[in-house]
Structure 1
Amino acid sequence: MQNEPRITQLPESPPRRISRAIPRGLAITGPILFSYGFRPFFLAGGSWAVIAMLLWIAALAFGWPIGGDYGAAAWHAHEMLFGFTPAVLAGFLLTAVPNWTGRLPVSGPPLMVLVAIWAIGRLAMLSPALIGVTAAAVVDALFLPSLLFICAREVVAGRKWSDLKVITGLAALSLANILFHHAVIGQDHSGAFNRLGISAYVMLITIIGGRIIPSFTRNWMKKFGHKTFPVPHNRFDEIAIAAGLVALGAWVVRPEHPATAVLATTAGLLHAIRLYRWRGWRTWPEKLLLILHLAYAFVALGLFGIALGTLGVIDEFSVLHLLSVGAVASMMIAVMSRVSRGHTGRVLTASLMTAASYAAILLAAVLRLLANVLPDFYGPLIVAAGLSWILAFSLFCWECGPMLVNVRRVAHGDGASS
């Protein structure tokens, strides 16, 4: 067997928006997997998305006692919101924040420790009886605050005060995870902390997505000679983000109140208009871009779903999955595939396998919604949605896994994540 490639063989590319070149991945020697945050966390997140869903389907079909005393349903909800998803978020932020701040990325032993904290949390939650439910919750709750500390330190040190909005979203996620554990252990079934966690992810999408989607779209349009470009970020975008924050806050606290329906409908319209201003339909030839627009469309659809849920037209599980699968998971697989390609020197275009993974995750979102809308077919639709999810992330791991564990190729583009 050949020796594992080392970081010193070929460094990562320098960040794009800094005043001086900063070498990437030269701070340490070690496995290339730990040279940059996206590498271990995208691989771990994608793999856990598959494993956790397989375990959930097995629990439904065969009664496997996953999660032990924590409960299979609570375990599933937790691992989707605070297991798989934070890993992908960590991979993105640990790659994007150095670009934003011009500072060195977290790599080597510190990155290994952070990955270990995440992995130990997954083991603790899978079999909490080994150390006790409360202890397992404490172990799991360490990861998001650790990521928060690292990102906040970098943003403050780089004096990128505008990026504190992202730090606020991370803080909300950290709190939501802790409160989720408290609710499960205390037998609180209100679902408020599910809503808080999903809302935090959606807000991060509206903030970060509003930065990268029009930017990537503009660059692509310029390359192919388009004359009409996405509208630049302006006051309208700030109003849309603020409206989304208010609507999601109302949904977390008072999901049944009529005012929530009004706020959510208003926010949904604003975000639909915001998406229209980005000219996403022109990106149809490039699925690597199109999926970003489609995933963001689920933000608007999810806000409309909140309004329908408040009015009793659809149930809360439909709303939760419309946002968590349609918006959050779709956006994450879109970002994972783009960053994996760009930061490992691949061409920034979607292969057939990549496009298939996008189709699978979008299908999973639709099927999961239909499962609650068509109760007579609930069982088969749940399984079909789960299998579509598994297919989406399996295709990502199959295609991008080798990119993540091997040295960077000669760059074909910046592959930027921000």
Structure 2
Amino acid sequence: MTERRTAGSQTRGERMLALRRARMAAAPPVLRGGFRPFFLAAGLWAVAAIGLWVAMLSGLPAPVAGDWLAWHRHEMLFGFVGAAIAGYYLTAIPNRSGRLPVAGPPLAALALLWLAGRVALLLSGGPGGAVAMLVDCAFPFVLVLLGAREALVMGNRNLPLVALVLLLGIASVLDHGGATGWIADDALGWRGGLALIVVLIAMIGGRLVPSFTRNWLARRGATGRMPGQPDRYDRAAMAVTAAALAGWAVWPDARATGLALAAAALAQAGRMARWRGMTAARDPLVLSLHLGFAWLPVGLALLAASGPGGPVPRTAALHALTAGAMATMILAVMTRTILSQTARDLRAGPLTVAAYALVTLGALLRMATAFDLLGYQVGIMVSGGVWTAAFGAFLVGYAPILVAPRAAGR
């Protein structure tokens, strides 16, 4: 009896696997892997959301009444970054588990759910309101359910990533709650969301940057000490960083928070110093990862110096972490993942190099605006224009690949 049940269970599993394979083969190319629709959505929304924000600051009437600064913050953290995280999440988890990715109609439904959140926020003029919150926040919790299912099947290797996406969904709910006055600290949600994204960059970047750098150096026969996988120092640096950012999310003006952020900046700079970034500077794909990660200790140090009475404007620290670390790392990971997953050469073409250069220039211009080196209106328009050009170059170079029928590769 036990043997019959085992065989029957295997047969059902094989039938489900065959069904998922058939669904994936029959789907349009853009729905054959999570990175395809969501990296495309991230690029499109980066251009559209910043373009709309700059236009409204330049005098274009908003479509509806609302708090458009809150909309801008929410859409950058939970819309743009949310799409990029979804593309990585839906690609990394199947790669680790060896199971087929979400594809076809379920993936289309998930992408439409993300899009519904963007429409709901745009029509409501920003976060707040029960309907907008339900539509917007359904997306990260569905992602959590998908990831938890894989974690239960294959073990707990994916649980840290699933937990961070869960916390990001909770932060989105809190951002809505703050906008409607449901919680006393109306900035807790977006601060918590930013803190979680920075932790995610430190966690994932701390694995990808040394790994890809080591591979690049090994292919070229480099000698000397090679970058290694995360060790006890890295784990300690992550613990300090996570604690400092959690403290900043809850007590942003506390003196102890500033000291913890300074310690986190030093710890993350120490991690980078061991990765031989300058030796890999000839490869733009590798260099972009180092540049994206380099904004992390810079942003943490600026955030430490932006407390009450500090010499640094807080907006400078925030944009070092967002326009700098977030945007650069997202571009670096998206471009490399697309090339790898579609079995293309890991080589940065002219459009890719242009996107990296433009996103770095955009971050520097936004920092100059924050430090009053550029007039606010001019600085926002110029830095926003450079940002949209960076992601426009990404779309021109990679949208055809994302919608092309070429099969997933490595």
Offset of 1:64 from its aligned partner?
2.2
In structure 2, C-alpha distance between the alignment counterparts of 1:190 and 1:82, rounded to whole Å = 16
Matched, 1:185 2:175: no
Count of residues in Structure 1 that have an aligned counterpart in Structure 2: 388
Runs of 4+ aligned residues of structure 1 deviating over 6 Å after TM superposition are 22-25
SS at match of 1:349: coil
Matching residue of 2:265: 268
The alpha carbon displacement at 1:192 in A equals 2.4
Determine whether 1:252 maps to 2:286: no
3-state secondary structure, aligned to 1:141: helix
Q: Does 1:153 align with 2:172?
A: no
Gaps of 5+ in 2: 1-16
Matched, 1:216 2:215: no
* AA partner of residue 360 (structure 1): L
Letter in 1 for 2:180: I
Q: TM-score, normalised by structure 1?
A: 0.88
Q: Any residues of structure 2 matched to 1:17-416 within 5 Å, and which?
A: 26-28=21-23, 29-66=26-63, 68-128=64-124, 133-159=129-155, 161-186=156-181, 190-228=186-224, 229-310=226-307, 312-374=310-372, 377-408=375-406, 414=410
Alpha-carbon distance in structure 1 between the residues aligned to 2:235 and 2:158: 14
Does the 8 Å contact 1:192/1:252 carry over to 2? yes
Shift of 1:163: 2.8
Tell me the CA shift for residue 133 of structure 1.
3.8
Change (3 A) 1:407 1:376: closer
**Paired residue type of 1:318:** A
CA distance in 2, matches of 1:257, 1:347: 49
1:70 Cα shift?
Answer: 3.5
Query: In structure 2, how many angstroms separate the alpha carbons of the residues matched to 1:376 and 1:44?
Result: 31
Q: CA deviation at 1:343?
A: 1.1
In structure 1, how many angstroms separate the alpha carbons of the residues matched to 2:364 and 2:75?
Answer: 21
Q: Distance in 1 between matches of 2:371 and 2:237?
A: 29
CA distance in 2, matches of 1:326, 1:225: 32
The one-letter code sitting in structure 2 at the alignment partner of 1:167 is: V
SS at match of 1:233: coil
d(CA) in 1 for partners of 2:241 and 2:325? Answer: 14
SS at structure 1 position matched to 2:229: coil
**How many Å separate the matches in 2 of 1:162 and 1:263?**
29
Deviation at 1:324, TM superposition (A): 1.2
The residue that corresponds to 1:7 in the other structure is: none
Alignment-mate amino acid for residue 139 of structure 2? F
CA contact (8 A) 1:177 1:197 kept: yes
Q: Is the partner of 1:333 in helix, strand or coil?
A: helix
Larger radius of gyration: 2
Question: d(CA) in 1 for partners of 2:206 and 2:36?
Answer: 24
Say if 1:94 and 1:409 are closer, same or farther in 2 by CA, change over 3 A.
closer
Deviations 1:124-153 (A, max 9, x none): 111128xx9431222111111111111122
TM-score of the two chains, using structure 2 as the length reference:
0.90
* Native 8 Å contact 1:53 1:390 kept in 2: yes
2: CA distance, partners of 1:51 / 1:89: 18
CA distance in 2, matches of 1:364, 1:153: 39
Q: 8 Å contact 1:353–1:395 — kept in the other structure? A: yes
Instruction: Describe the superposition over 1:369-396 as per-residue Cα deviations: whole angstroms up to 9, x where unpaired.
Output: 1112116612111111101110111000
Q: How much does 1:63 deviate?
A: 3.6
Secondary structure of the equivalent of 2:227?
coil
Q: Shift of residue 190 of structure 1?
A: 4.7
CA distance in 2, matches of 1:182, 1:40: 29
Partner of 1:15 in structure 2? none
CA RMSD of aligned residues (A): 2.1
CA contact 1:36–1:106 (8 Å) conserved in 2 = yes
Secondary structure at the residue paired with 1:26?
Answer: helix
- The answer (yes or no) to whether the contact 1:42–1:91 under 8 Å persists in 2 is yes
- Structure 1 140/280 Cα, relative in aligned 2: closer, same or farther at 3 Å? same
Q: In 2, Cα distance between the equivalents of 1:179 and 1:212?
A: 31
SS in structure 2 opposite 1:127?
A: helix
Q: Distance in 2 between matches of 1:341 and 1:303?
A: 31
